[in-house]
């Protein structure tokens, strides 16, 4: 009895969660444990992704939206994109 959490188990939100991701050098983003290839043309761009129960809708900066079927049940852990690291070169 002492190990039971108080109250009912929290349920995930039924409406889409909005997250941002920054595409890699090769144009790949990763959200909820799923890699999505956007293409090299989108390398280093920040995109907004709407995470629903069955789909991922990606808003691309210049070419509209793309919808992908969600293949994982992992919850969203990070809402913001990775920002580029700034390196100060001292010569």
pLDDT band at 16 (very low <50, low <70, confident <90, very high): confident
Mean pLDDT of the chain: 84
- Distance, in Å, from the CA atom of 2 to the CA atom of 75, rounded to the nearest integer, reads 27
Instruction: Identify whether the C-beta of residue 70 lies closer than 8 Å to the C-beta of residue 49.
Output: no
Is the Cβ–Cβ distance between 80 and 20 less than 8 Å? yes
- Give the pLDDT confidence of 45-85 residue by residue, as tens digits: 999 999 999 999 999 988 789 999 999 988 888 888 776 66
User: What pTM was estimated for this model as a whole?
Assistant: 0.72
- pLDDT over 90 percentage in the chain: 55
């Amino acid at each position: 009895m002492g190990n039971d959490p108080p109250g009912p188990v929290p349920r995930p939100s039924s409406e889409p969660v909005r997250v941002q991701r920054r595409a890699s050098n090769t144009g790949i983003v990763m959200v909820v444990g799923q890699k999505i290839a956007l293409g090299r043309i989108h390398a280093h761009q920040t995109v907004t992704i709407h995470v629903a129960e069955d789909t991922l809708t990606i808003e691309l900066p210049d070419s509209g939206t793309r919808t992908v079927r969600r293949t994982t049940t992992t919850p969203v852990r990070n809402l913001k994109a990775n920002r580029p690291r700034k390196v100060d070169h001292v010569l």
